[in-house]
Amino acid sequence: MTDRLDVFGDTSDACAALARKEAGLARALDAIEEPHIRRRPGGFEALFRIIVEQQVSVPSAQAIWARCQAGMDCGDPGHALRHGEEGLKSFGLSGPKARYVSALAEHWTSGDLDEEKLAQLSDEDASIALQKIKGIGPWTAAIYLLFCEGRVDIWPPGDVALLGAWRATRRRGPLPDMKTLDQRAAKWRPYRGVAAHILWTYYAHLRGRAPI
Protein backbone atom coordinates (compact mmCIF):
# COMPACT_ATOMS: atom_id res chain seq x y z
CA MET A 1 0.00 0.00 0.00
CA THR A 2 1.29 3.46 -0.80
CA ASP A 3 2.38 5.84 1.94
CA ARG A 4 -0.36 8.05 3.31
CA LEU A 5 -0.75 10.94 5.70
CA ASP A 6 -0.61 9.93 9.36
CA VAL A 7 -3.92 11.33 10.55
CA PHE A 8 -2.85 10.54 14.12
CA GLY A 9 -0.04 13.03 13.63
CA ASP A 10 -0.10 16.49 12.08
CA THR A 11 -3.27 17.29 10.09
CA SER A 12 -2.59 20.99 9.64
CA ASP A 13 -1.91 20.78 5.90
CA ALA A 14 -5.04 18.69 5.32
CA CYS A 15 -7.14 21.11 7.37
CA ALA A 16 -5.76 24.08 5.47
CA ALA A 17 -6.57 22.41 2.16
CA LEU A 18 -10.12 21.64 3.28
CA ALA A 19 -10.67 25.18 4.56
CA ARG A 20 -9.62 26.59 1.20
CA LYS A 21 -11.94 24.19 -0.58
CA GLU A 22 -15.05 24.50 1.62
CA ALA A 23 -16.29 27.56 3.52
CA GLY A 24 -18.37 25.47 5.90
CA LEU A 25 -15.33 23.47 7.00
CA ALA A 26 -13.39 26.72 7.38
CA ARG A 27 -16.09 28.03 9.72
CA ALA A 28 -16.00 24.82 11.74
CA LEU A 29 -12.21 25.03 12.04
CA ASP A 30 -12.44 28.66 13.17
CA ALA A 31 -14.61 27.46 16.05
CA ILE A 32 -12.61 24.39 17.08
CA GLU A 33 -9.07 25.39 15.91
CA GLU A 34 -8.14 21.79 15.13
CA PRO A 35 -9.98 18.49 14.92
CA HIS A 36 -9.93 15.92 17.67
CA ILE A 37 -8.75 12.73 15.94
CA ARG A 38 -10.44 9.67 17.39
CA ARG A 39 -7.99 6.82 17.85
CA ARG A 40 -8.59 3.24 18.95
CA PRO A 41 -6.62 0.01 18.80
CA GLY A 42 -7.74 -2.18 15.92
CA GLY A 43 -8.79 -5.80 15.73
CA PHE A 44 -11.81 -7.83 16.78
CA GLU A 45 -12.53 -5.81 19.92
CA ALA A 46 -12.67 -2.56 17.94
CA LEU A 47 -15.20 -3.95 15.48
CA PHE A 48 -17.21 -5.50 18.33
CA ARG A 49 -17.44 -2.06 19.96
CA ILE A 50 -18.42 -0.31 16.72
CA ILE A 51 -21.25 -2.81 16.22
CA VAL A 52 -22.45 -2.00 19.75
CA GLU A 53 -22.42 1.69 18.80
CA GLN A 54 -24.54 1.29 15.67
CA GLN A 55 -27.71 3.42 15.73
CA VAL A 56 -27.79 4.09 19.47
CA SER A 57 -26.97 7.16 21.54
CA VAL A 58 -23.49 7.61 22.97
CA PRO A 59 -24.67 7.03 26.59
CA SER A 60 -26.53 3.85 25.61
CA ALA A 61 -23.53 2.52 23.70
CA GLN A 62 -21.21 3.28 26.60
CA ALA A 63 -23.50 1.49 29.06
CA ILE A 64 -23.82 -1.63 26.90
CA TRP A 65 -20.10 -1.72 26.19
CA ALA A 66 -19.31 -1.43 29.91
CA ARG A 67 -21.54 -4.46 30.58
CA CYS A 68 -19.79 -6.39 27.83
CA GLN A 69 -16.38 -5.56 29.28
CA ALA A 70 -17.49 -6.58 32.76
CA GLY A 71 -18.94 -9.89 31.60
CA MET A 72 -16.45 -11.19 29.05
CA ASP A 73 -13.10 -10.74 27.34
CA CYS A 74 -14.15 -8.44 24.51
CA GLY A 75 -10.86 -8.93 22.70
CA ASP A 76 -11.26 -12.70 22.38
CA PRO A 77 -13.53 -13.82 19.52
CA GLY A 78 -13.56 -17.33 20.95
CA HIS A 79 -15.03 -15.95 24.15
CA ALA A 80 -17.79 -14.26 22.15
CA LEU A 81 -18.58 -17.56 20.45
CA ARG A 82 -18.71 -19.40 23.77
CA HIS A 83 -21.18 -16.86 25.12
CA GLY A 84 -23.35 -17.28 22.04
CA GLU A 85 -26.11 -14.98 20.96
CA GLU A 86 -28.10 -15.36 24.16
CA GLY A 87 -25.09 -14.54 26.28
CA LEU A 88 -24.36 -11.46 24.23
CA LYS A 89 -27.98 -10.35 24.49
CA SER A 90 -27.70 -10.58 28.29
CA PHE A 91 -25.21 -7.69 28.13
CA GLY A 92 -27.77 -5.50 26.37
CA LEU A 93 -27.12 -6.23 22.71
CA SER A 94 -30.18 -6.51 20.50
CA GLY A 95 -30.85 -9.81 18.76
CA PRO A 96 -29.47 -8.58 15.41
CA LYS A 97 -26.34 -7.14 17.03
CA ALA A 98 -25.72 -10.37 18.92
CA ARG A 99 -25.86 -12.18 15.57
CA TYR A 100 -23.51 -9.65 14.02
CA VAL A 101 -20.91 -10.05 16.77
CA SER A 102 -21.17 -13.83 16.48
CA ALA A 103 -20.66 -13.60 12.70
CA LEU A 104 -17.66 -11.34 13.23
CA ALA A 105 -16.18 -13.77 15.76
CA GLU A 106 -16.57 -16.65 13.32
CA HIS A 107 -14.74 -14.72 10.58
CA TRP A 108 -11.99 -13.69 12.96
CA THR A 109 -11.36 -17.16 14.38
CA SER A 110 -11.37 -18.70 10.89
CA GLY A 111 -8.52 -16.45 9.81
CA ASP A 112 -10.55 -15.02 6.92
CA LEU A 113 -9.91 -11.55 8.26
CA ASP A 114 -7.61 -9.98 10.80
CA GLU A 115 -6.06 -6.64 11.69
CA GLU A 116 -2.85 -7.21 9.74
CA LYS A 117 -4.61 -8.30 6.55
CA LEU A 118 -6.90 -5.27 6.62
CA ALA A 119 -4.01 -2.86 7.08
CA GLN A 120 -2.42 -4.07 3.84
CA LEU A 121 -5.52 -3.43 1.72
CA SER A 122 -6.45 -0.30 -0.17
CA ASP A 123 -9.27 1.83 1.22
CA GLU A 124 -11.78 0.34 -1.18
CA ASP A 125 -10.66 -3.27 -0.74
CA ALA A 126 -10.55 -2.96 3.04
CA SER A 127 -14.11 -1.61 3.08
CA ILE A 128 -15.29 -4.42 0.80
CA ALA A 129 -13.59 -7.06 2.96
CA LEU A 130 -15.25 -5.73 6.11
CA GLN A 131 -18.67 -5.55 4.49
CA LYS A 132 -18.57 -9.24 3.65
CA ILE A 133 -19.31 -9.84 7.34
CA LYS A 134 -22.99 -9.81 8.29
CA GLY A 135 -23.89 -6.63 10.14
CA ILE A 136 -20.97 -4.56 8.88
CA GLY A 137 -22.11 -2.00 6.36
CA PRO A 138 -20.44 1.07 4.84
CA TRP A 139 -20.72 3.16 8.03
CA THR A 140 -19.25 0.51 10.34
CA ALA A 141 -16.43 -0.25 7.91
CA ALA A 142 -15.65 3.45 7.59
CA ILE A 143 -15.58 4.02 11.35
CA TYR A 144 -13.10 1.16 11.79
CA LEU A 145 -10.84 2.40 9.02
CA LEU A 146 -10.94 5.96 10.40
CA PHE A 147 -10.56 5.32 14.12
CA CYS A 148 -8.32 2.25 14.08
CA GLU A 149 -6.20 2.64 10.97
CA GLY A 150 -6.13 6.41 10.63
CA ARG A 151 -7.07 6.47 6.97
CA VAL A 152 -7.67 9.99 5.72
CA ASP A 153 -9.93 9.61 2.68
CA ILE A 154 -12.74 7.54 4.18
CA TRP A 155 -16.25 8.97 4.56
CA PRO A 156 -18.86 7.38 6.88
CA PRO A 157 -22.15 7.67 4.98
CA GLY A 158 -25.38 8.32 6.83
CA ASP A 159 -23.80 9.71 10.01
CA VAL A 160 -26.36 11.90 11.76
CA ALA A 161 -23.79 13.79 13.85
CA LEU A 162 -21.92 14.81 10.71
CA LEU A 163 -25.19 16.01 9.20
CA GLY A 164 -26.01 18.05 12.29
CA ALA A 165 -22.60 19.68 12.27
CA TRP A 166 -22.71 20.37 8.54
CA ARG A 167 -26.13 21.99 8.80
CA ALA A 168 -24.78 24.27 11.54
CA THR A 169 -22.07 25.58 9.21
CA ARG A 170 -24.60 26.73 6.58
CA ARG A 171 -25.21 30.45 6.18
CA ARG A 172 -27.97 30.43 3.56
CA GLY A 173 -30.22 28.17 1.55
CA PRO A 174 -32.21 25.10 2.58
CA LEU A 175 -30.72 22.74 5.11
CA PRO A 176 -29.03 19.80 3.38
CA ASP A 177 -30.29 16.27 3.86
CA MET A 178 -28.09 13.22 4.36
CA LYS A 179 -27.87 12.34 0.67
CA THR A 180 -26.76 15.87 -0.15
CA LEU A 181 -24.04 15.79 2.52
CA ASP A 182 -22.73 12.40 1.43
CA GLN A 183 -22.55 13.65 -2.15
CA ARG A 184 -20.87 16.87 -1.06
CA ALA A 185 -18.19 14.91 0.78
CA ALA A 186 -16.92 13.58 -2.53
CA LYS A 187 -15.55 17.09 -3.17
CA TRP A 188 -13.34 16.81 -0.09
CA ARG A 189 -11.04 14.15 -1.48
CA PRO A 190 -8.34 13.20 -0.62
CA TYR A 191 -9.12 14.27 2.95
CA ARG A 192 -12.70 13.14 3.51
CA GLY A 193 -11.73 11.43 6.75
CA VAL A 194 -10.14 14.59 8.11
CA ALA A 195 -13.31 16.47 7.14
CA ALA A 196 -15.34 13.95 9.14
CA HIS A 197 -13.14 14.49 12.20
CA ILE A 198 -13.52 18.27 11.81
CA LEU A 199 -17.31 17.98 11.74
CA TRP A 200 -17.47 15.51 14.65
CA THR A 201 -15.33 17.87 16.73
CA TYR A 202 -17.51 20.80 15.71
CA TYR A 203 -20.63 18.84 16.63
CA ALA A 204 -19.25 18.25 20.13
CA HIS A 205 -18.39 21.96 20.34
CA LEU A 206 -21.95 22.91 19.42
CA ARG A 207 -23.29 20.65 22.16
CA GLY A 208 -20.88 22.05 24.73
CA ARG A 209 -19.05 18.82 25.43
CA ALA A 210 -15.57 17.49 24.95
CA PRO A 211 -15.11 15.36 21.83
CA ILE A 212 -14.71 11.63 22.45
Are 99 and 168 within one domain?
no
Report the greatest alpha carbon distance in the chain.
55
Alpha carbon distance 204, 32 (integer Å): 10
Q: How many domains does the chain fold into?
A: 2
How would you label 142-159 residue by residue, b for 16+ Cβ within 10 Å and e otherwise? Answer: bbbbbbbbbbbbbbbeeb
Domain membership of residue 120 as a residue range: 44-147
Q: Give domain status of residue 212, yes or no.
A: no
Alpha carbon distance 14, 179 (integer Å): 24
Are 114 and 78 within one domain?
yes
Are 183 and 143 within one domain?
no
Alpha carbon distance 44, 113 (integer Å): 9
Domain stops at, among 147, 164, 182:
147
Q: pTM of the entire structure?
A: 0.89
Domain stops at, among 147, 176, 194:
147
User: From first to last of its 212 residues, what are the pLDDT tens digits of the chain?
Assistant: 334 566 777 899 999 999 999 999 999 999 999 999 999 899 999 999 999 999 888 899 999 999 999 999 999 999 999 999 999 999 999 999 999 999 999 999 998 888 888 989 999 999 999 999 999 999 999 999 999 999 999 999 999 999 999 999 998 888 899 999 999 999 999 999 999 999 999 999 998 887 77
